Amino acid sequence: MKILVLNGPNLGLLGTREPEIYGKETLDDIMDALRQDADALGVELMTVQTDIEGEMVSAITKAKWYADGIILNPAAFTHTSVAVHDAIKGCMLPTVEVHLSNVYAREGYRHESITAGVCIGQICGFGSLGYRLALEALITKIGG
């Protein structure tokens, strides 16, 4: 089983960006721990972080040809990107949306996700544990 883990804008700043909201782990820390979990489960992960919307769209559409599912933290694109929504819908891969913080306990504009409606589920508010929960959910959904 192969899963794409796709992280959006500003997540490369984790560990230093608003640690009171996002925690002190870096994205590399989170991805390393997730990779260890995936290895133990016999799952291959491909990880990508991009600050560019078009790169995120391209990564999603290309995943259709090599991945069985996607773990997606679209970050700010969650609330703004019809293009990311359409890419998820078009690739037809089971996708789990992940957010480190509880977006519903934050500013009002963060309460609406353009992308969640084309995902099989959304996990938010559990910090880096959300990625591990998403991995387990995808494995279960895909049937691995």
**What are the catalytic residues?**
22, 99
Q: What angle (nearest 5°) sits at the alpha carbon of residue 44, between those of residues 39 and 46?
A: 120
- Output the six-digit token pair for 61: 């559409």
Between strands 95-99 and 44-49, the pairing is unpaired
Which candidate, 62, 65, 83, 63, places its Cα nearest to that of 74? 83
Q: Residues near 63 by Cβ (< 8 Å), separated by ≥ 6?
A: 4, 6, 70, 91, 93
